[in-house]
């Protein structure tokens, strides 16, 4: 899977993977339409960090959710 190139499809993949890893129940907050494709680099950086971290603490999960809020439209 090549996610380096910003695209709508890759954006959706990143959001789905992040939602899965963070165990987000309310997936409506991960709707790609609510995010700007110009924020792809930030979202990709978050995705990479989450993948490297593995298991996240409650505080880390909360921090990622806060960061997601800042990049939403």
Give the integer Cα–Cα distance in Å for 59 and 1: 29
pLDDT in tens, 9-68: 999 999 999 999 999 998 898 999 999 999 999 999 999 999 998 889 999 999 999 999
Task: Spell out the alpha helix ranges (H) of 1-73.
Answer: 8-21, 40-53, 58-71
Task: Please state the pTM of the whole predicted model.
Answer: 0.87
* Length in residues, the chain: 73
For the chain, the structural domain boundaries read 8-71
CA distance 63 to 60: 5
User: How confident is the model at residue 1, as a pLDDT?
Assistant: 67
């Amino acid at each position: 899977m090549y996610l380096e190139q910003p695209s709508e499809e890759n954006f959706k993949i990143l959001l789905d993977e992040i939602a899965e890893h963070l165990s987000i129940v309310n997936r409506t907050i991960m709707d790609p339409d609510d995010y700007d494709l110009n924020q792809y680099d930030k979202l990709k950086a978050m995705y990479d960090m989450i993948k490297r971290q593995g298991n996240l603490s409650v505080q880390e999960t909360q921090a990622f959710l806060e960061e997601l809020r800042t990049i939403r439209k």
